[in-house]
Structure 1
Amino acid sequence: MAMQFDESERAAVYRAIYERRDMRHFVREPVDADVLQRLIDAAHHAPSVGFMQPWRILRVTEESLRASLHAAVERERVKTAEALGERQDEFMKLKVEGMRDCGELLVMALMDGREKHVFGRRTLPEMDLASVACAIQNMWLAARAEGLGMGWVSLFDLDEVRGLLKMPPGAKPVAILCLGHVEQFYQKPMLEMERWAQRMPVAECVFENYWPCAENGA
């Protein structure tokens, strides 16, 4: 029988899961190089369909590039607000990123040449994106265990960010990741605290055997 984690080890895993937060408030201090390497290594050990390892991580160290990426996000933030209609003003009051203050700015991207990988993707080609999401989650949980905050920024035009990062044809930015020290972690997800949305009851997300239909009262 495979060796299990002991009780304290299990508790630590679940604590990282439940206390992970999408952080937007950072303290502008550098992230220790050894810690950053551990987090990158944790991401690189994520599961991937067909072991294709489609993630590519770009570390943004030029302040001018950080500023350009922030400007791209701000432009999309305004467009997103306009698309939200009656919730526009409410959205504009939310803090949606911490790109100017975080110690490290990373961009998680999909590799080019992914069409060569069909193992597990012949009918579900989006599984490469799912694999990258697993890498991001690995890094997120490891960052929480290290006492660092991380935030996922997805408000950007793909082609604009692709151009800023000089990515080759076929490569695709997935997430701008803000990583760094924080004064404290949010007790709840920030969007829940701001009453933007509430966590769904787990019973509404788990079905047995068949998808419930309206005639069954679902």
Structure 2
Amino acid sequence: MPEHPTAGDGESFDQTARDAVYRAIFSRRDVRSHFLLDALDDAVLARLLIAAHHAPSVGYMQPWNFIVIRDALRRQRVRDLFLAAREQELPNIAAERQALYRKLKLEGICESALNLCITCDRRRSENSPLGRWHNPQMDLYSTVCAVQNFWLAARAEGIGVGWVSILDTLALRELLQIPEHAVPVAYLCVGRVSEFAPKPDLESRGWAKRLKLSDLIMSETFSGPGEAALKEMVDRMA
């Protein structure tokens, strides 16, 4: 990666570069298993964080912060939070799916090289309402863009990332000493892996399947039937 990457001259990427972008998108996985014991080189982590920091943000607010978590004891305490939260979630799962839920691998907190908590500082743009006046959630959405940038860059580097969402936010705040004005948006397990699964784990395990895109495309209004030619092309290319 160049030290100071630039936007370029407006030309589209060549075919090799386009293929690489789409490969990262289509082969990205929410990794829970297959983490290796290998440490993650700081130069690689730095590249991923730089990619995240170049995410789009409404009003150029850049509301994100990145908490790198390596300490084994702290990570074990986070895992304890996960286990408690999973038990709280279980009763809300349909009875016929609870056995499958218990078998799902839903985190790699202690197995991965490190953990990363990405937060949103909600005070960072309080004096600049650009883009937030009518939608105050845009700082949170912008932070999610940073998560996606990090994730795709990680896939290009051969690094696995798993998003752990089954956590009690208040307990996580206390453990990581996150102040009230910052919101923990994503808790990620990060590290090298032995493989990337050909399909998302939840699809392979029968929890869900990818929806048919053409059923989700509408035209002009939410109830618009969608453009037939576009939907046909999507079905053909999917």
Indicate the SS of the match to 2:66.
strand
Give the TM-score normalised by the residue count of structure 2: 0.86
What do you get for the CA RMSD once the two structures are aligned? 1.5
Query: For each residue in 1:105-128, what CA deviation from the matched residue of structure 2 results, as whole angstroms up to 9, or x when unmatched?
Result: 100111141571421111211111
- Contact 1:112 1:168 survives alignment (8 Å): no
Give the TM-score normalised by the residue count of structure 1: 0.94
User: Which residue of structure 1 lines up, in the alignment, with residue 214 of structure 2?
Assistant: 203
- Contact 2:163 2:186 survives alignment (8 Å): yes
| Structure 2 counterparts to residues 5-20 of structure 1, below 5 A | 5-20=13-28
The AA in structure 2 aligned to 1:36 is L
User: Which residue of structure 1 lines up, in the alignment, with residue 4 of structure 2?
Assistant: none
Matches of 1:195 and 1:84 in 2, distance apart? Answer: 15
Query: For each residue in 1:70-92, what CA deviation from the matched residue of structure 2 results, as whole angstroms up to 9, or x when unmatched?
Result: 11111111111121131222211
User: Which residue of structure 2 lines up, in the alignment, with residue 92 of structure 1?
Assistant: 102
Give the Å deviation of 1:141: 0.6
User: Which residue of structure 1 lines up, in the alignment, with residue 6 of structure 2?
Assistant: none
Which of 138, 141, 165 lines up with 2:176 in the alignment?
Answer: 165
2:59 is aligned with 1:50 = yes
User: Which residue of structure 1 lines up, in the alignment, with residue 29 of structure 2?
Assistant: 21
Query: For each residue in 1:53-77, what CA deviation from the matched residue of structure 2 results, as whole angstroms up to 9, or x when unmatched?
Result: 1111100122211111111111111
Misfit runs of 4+, over 4 Å: none
Matches of 1:10 and 1:112 in 2, distance apart? Answer: 35
Query: For each residue in 1:164-197, what CA deviation from the matched residue of structure 2 results, as whole angstroms up to 9, or x when unmatched?
Result: 1111122111111011111110101110001101
User: Which residue of structure 1 lines up, in the alignment, with residue 156 of structure 2?
Assistant: 145
Closer/same/farther in 2, CA of residues 10 and 90 from structure 1, 3 Å limit: same
Matches of 1:54 and 1:164 in 2, distance apart? Answer: 21
- Contact 2:63 2:143 survives alignment (8 Å): yes
User: Which residue of structure 1 lines up, in the alignment, with residue 129 of structure 2?
Assistant: 118
2:52 is aligned with 1:81 = no
User: Which residue of structure 1 lines up, in the alignment, with residue 235 of structure 2?
Assistant: none
Report percent identity of matched pairs.
41
> Which structure 1 residue ranges, 5 or more long, are not aligned?
none
- Contact 1:112 1:169 survives alignment (8 Å): no
> Which structure 2 residue ranges, 5 or more long, are not aligned?
1-8, 226-238
Indicate the SS of the match to 1:98.
coil
Indicate the SS of the match to 1:207.
coil
Matches of 1:162 and 1:52 in 2, distance apart? Answer: 22
Indicate the SS of the match to 1:198.
coil
Matches of 1:119 and 1:3 in 2, distance apart? Answer: 30
- Contact 1:56 1:110 survives alignment (8 Å): yes
